Amino acid sequence: MASGSDRNPIIIGGLPSQVPDFDPEETQEWLDSLDAAVDERGRERARYLMLRLIERAREKRVAVPEMRSTDYVNTIATKDEPFFPGNEEIERKILNATRWNAAVMVSRAQRPGIGVGGHIATFASSASLYDVGFNHFFRGKDDGKGGDQIFFQGHASPGVYARAYLLDRLSEAQLDAFRQEKSKAPDGLSSYPHPRLMPDFWEFPTVSMGLGPLGAIYQARMNRYMEARGIADTSDSHVWAYLGDGEMDEPESLGQLSIAAREGLDNLTFVVNCNLQRLDGPVRGNGKIMQELESQFRGAGWNVIKLVWDRSWDPLLAQDRDGVLVNKLNTTPDGQFQTYATETGSYIRDHFFGDDHRLRAMVEGMTDQQIQHLGRGGHDHKKIFAAYAAAKAHKGQPTVILAQTVKGWTLGPNFEGRNATHQMKKLTAEDLKRFRDRLHLPISDKELENGNPPYYHPGRDSEEIQYMHDRRKANGGYVPTRVVRAKPLPLPDEKAYAGAKKGSGQQKIATTMAFVRVLKDLMRDKEIGKRFVPIAPDEYRTFGMDAFFPSAKIYNPLGQIYESVDRELLLAYKESPTGQMLHDGISEAGCTASLIAAGSAYATHGEPLIPIYVFYSMFGFQRTGDQFWQMADQLARGFVLGATAGRTTLTGEGLQHADGHSQLLASTNPACVAYDPAYGYEIAHIVKDGLRRMYGENSEDIFYYLTVYNEPIQHPAEPSDVDTEGILKGLYRVKPGDKGEHAAQILASGVAVPWAIEAQQILADEWNVKADVWSATSWNELRRDAVEIEEHNLLHPEEEQRVPYVTRKLADAEGPKVAVSDWMRAVPDQIARWVPGTYQSLGADGFGFADTRGAARRFFHIDPQSIVLGVLTELAREGKVDRSLLKQAIDRYQLLDVAAAEAGEAGGDA
């Protein structure tokens, strides 16, 4: 064996293992002591001693490697459990009633002719975890503040409904309308936590797995942000996120743990329901998911509380003087524990306790039934209370409680711990009878044999129901409850938009910079300026927003405890505990979670925030599209900026950076109002109207998506007769044609409007065509208007038929219509069926690539000369010009030669 000096130094737990030995003799004495402990008392005793030494070393602030995983027992020792202040007998009766009603609700939803499904087993496993929270911890909103923010596990929604029924918050008719939102309106209940569908009940949508934990982290951070900036008192708000152990496999579930630890979010508690099963079977059949999660959370800097066993294990663990029981618990895989959950006491006696005489001796005085009912900690109210109390008391770190449960707990042998239990939705009469007996409910066999099983309510004046009301009153009101207390904001006057409406003069700027200038003026507004929340994924400089650093500053709860390398510069990087800008690093998922938390602050805390999330457009809707649906469901509001938009504007970046489709993705989200503006004055009107619609009187639950570009152009001043309605509805004539024999119309959006205007000039000068140019500020809104009108006309044939805006707008426009944009053709094709006359679209279909802007546009045939060809082609189709002109145009402009195109405008990151 190599000597210490010969061995290579390594790092263990972030600490160097090779340090000088100043007293080898003393060192040897310690090593000899360890050897003696191993020789005389065994490895288990030696291990215990080492763990105690590490524990004491940490108490004395001696730097030693972090323990990533601890024994498979409860973190909180029995002697350290606090007094349980509740009446456990009453709480057990409440829980039994809730369990029954949750299961019956789902079972009745499977009645013949309905069959809409539901999930029973998830809530059955986590019912006690919720019940202790409802009775003792979850704070409501009756004090006028935000209360606690609770992210309920999506599949557990039946249990939340069942509890609300006992409290008279929901009726029996509503329980029977579970998952029948339209056919049983207004009684219908949504399948999962959906605020948009039940806006007075649910607060946070969570059933898209992984988004709940991600959202909870950034909600806790937003609470701190709002308090630091003096916008809302969130000091009493605690964020609880209820998750599944299978759900933790989602990258979003664990991907942002570090930010919660880094910022010391001790206002956040994760409760992971470790029933050891995912949808199809064991989460880690050959391993131990609780141990794995413990290591991951500890490594990320979280406080970890394991809640593994209920009180029935306490006497056995107290006997375990040599650690044989703990060792057995440590080495038994999850798949085997699931088998024990479904087996008899005699099987467990033989297979778990039977292979060691010391283990057998521990259970000699226990009956098989007692062994069978050795339970898991997530079903023990006192143990759960101890874990929650410890989590709330812990300071400086977020806490995760890993609670072991049995999936389908109390539902009977056909459900408990079975691999298929997640998909089981219907209880037979025999299942119901066993379930009733297990819960000790006064329901007769006859009621269970004839038709649908009944709901159970002990009576409004019963001790249990009064207890429930008293507990919620003591904790600040009923949850979940969504309350909107925010008042409309005073909107900025025209001065805030004057700069954008003046145009850029001789200077060329990109529409990204045009938007940033509008935002800068809005943030100066004395009334609402402080409510803007700029958010970016490490791209503020790319988007020209580094000018905000000195004044708005970047939010960091620690401030800036170092001297910035650019501190002498005018635009120095500045962090502050009261900073306004959120810099979430290279994480679009984290930024979108911040966007959602800020955008729903008007409801969560009664204080509106106006998030401005600016991202690389290709990495927004595409990468985090699921979160934008979450945003829509949560009724969040704000502005989303897809910067560096377009398939041909990022000349050097190439395929994965070239966005030609995010507008199409945005069109699929019903809450998203999407625009593709060309000029600064258009942006001014869109932003002004967005603030009115989202934050003014009669506010709407929508959010805005604007695609802006990094290509510098000259922005004209706003025309005196500007068509504001057309800008907002999606289409207006930006430049009429002034000469030519043949009429045509060019519809363009965003960066393509200047190409269209150049094509207009070429058509007039060289082809005798008079073409009007239209700015299509929103293809999506034009389509949305037309679809709504078609739906109305379909259902009201007896009324005068309405006409879509785009049809009316182009009704008198002569000649063929040619649409062009830096998007794939499917974007402008959205309006094709409602455009009168001949219609053709040009677009950037296919993959992007690295080249000059001119070459890229020639390749996709969307440059000015290609637009000319498109217009001539449609005129030839209508018989207005000879088809021979088309070959002439192709040859004249060398449209088949990409290299023949001019390079176009270069540069322009913002």
878: buried, middle or exposed (CB in 10 Å: 19+, 13-18, 0-12)?
A: middle
Tokens 């969504």 -> residue: 482
Which pLDDT does position 223 carry in this prediction? 98
- 453: DSSP letter: P
Residue 82 CB coordination number (10 Å): 12
Is the N-terminal amide bond of 333 cis, ω within 30° of 0? no
Do the Cβ atoms of 355 and 361 come closer than 8 Å?
A: no
What mean pLDDT do residues 822-843 have?
97
Average pLDDT for residues 489-506, to the nearest whole number?
95
Residue type at 231 in one-letter notation: I
> Residue type at 289?
I
In this prediction, residue 43 carries a pLDDT of 79
| Nearest in space to 271 (alpha carbons), one of 235, 313, 243 | 243
Query: How far apart are the C-alpha atoms of 77 and 57, rounded to whole Å?
Result: 20
Q: Where are the alpha helices (DSSP H) in 60-112?
A: 88-108
Question: Which residue type, as a one-letter code, is found at position 150?
Answer: I
pLDDT (average), residues 326-338:
93
**H-helix or E-strand containing 370?**
helix 368-372
Average pLDDT (108-115) is: 88
pLDDT 10s digits, 372-426: 999 999 999 999 999 999 999 999 999 999 999 999 888 888 787 676 666 666 7
What's residue 619's pLDDT?
Answer: 86
Q: Residue 788 — very low, low, confident or very high, per pLDDT cuts 50/70/90? A: very high
pLDDT category at 908 given cuts 50, 70, 90 is low
pLDDT of residue 10: 39
* Contacts of 125 by beta carbon, 8 Å cutoff, 6+ apart: 273, 275, 378, 405, 406, 407, 408, 409
Percent of the chain with pLDDT over 90: 82
Q: How far is it, in rounded angstroms, from Cα 496 to Cα 692?
A: 14
The pLDDT of residue 112: 86
**Is the pLDDT assigned to residue 316 strictly greater than 90?**
yes
Closest-CA residue to 189 (of 162, 153, 149): 162
Terminal Cα distance for the chain, rounded: 61
Q: What is the mean pLDDT of residues 736-742?
A: 95
Beta bridge partners of 733: 774
> Taking 60 as the threshold, does the pLDDT of residue 1 lie above it?
no
Number of residues written out for the chain? 910
Question: What Å distances lie between residue 381 and 71, 86, 663, CA to CA?
Answer: 22, 9, 50
Q: How confident is the model at residue 7 (pLDDT cuts 50, 70, 90)?
A: very low
Q: 108-112, 129-133, 634-638, 856-860: which range is least confident on average?
A: 108-112
- For 613-636, what is the mean pLDDT? 93
The candidate with the shortest Cα–Cα distance to 127, out of 410, 356, 317, is 410
DSSP 421-446: GGG-----HHHHHHHHHHHT----HH
Exposure of 572 by Cβ count < 10 A (0-12 exposed, 13-18 middle, 19+ buried)?
middle
| pLDDT tens-digit series, residues 582-601 | 998 899 999 999 999 999 99
How do strand 15-16 and strand 11-12 relate by DSSP bridges? Answer: antiparallel
The token duo for 534 is 């700029």
Q: What is the pTM of this model?
A: 0.92
Tokens of 586: 């290279």
| 577 three-class SS | coil
Residue type, 180: Q
- Residues ≥6 apart with Cβ < 8 Å to 450: none
pLDDT in tens, 10-62: 344 444 445 667 898 998 999 999 999 999 998 778 878 888 888 888 788 88
For the chain, give the mean pLDDT.
Answer: 93
pLDDT value of position 422: 63
Select from 694, 686, 772 the least CA-distant residue to 734.
772
3-state secondary structure of 335: helix
- Express as a percent the part of the chain with pLDDT over 70: 96
**What pLDDT was estimated at residue 113?**
86
> pLDDT value at position 418?
76
What are the distances in angstroms from CA 886 to CA 623, 815, 864?
Answer: 41, 17, 15
The CA distance from 609 to 532, in Å, is: 6
State the DSSP H helix or E strand holding residue 839, giving kind and residue range, or none if neither: strand 839-842
What gap in Å lies between CA 215 and CA 689, rounded to an integer? 28
Per the model's pLDDT, the better-predicted residue between 568 and 597 turns out to be: 597
User: Residue 108, SS3?
Assistant: helix
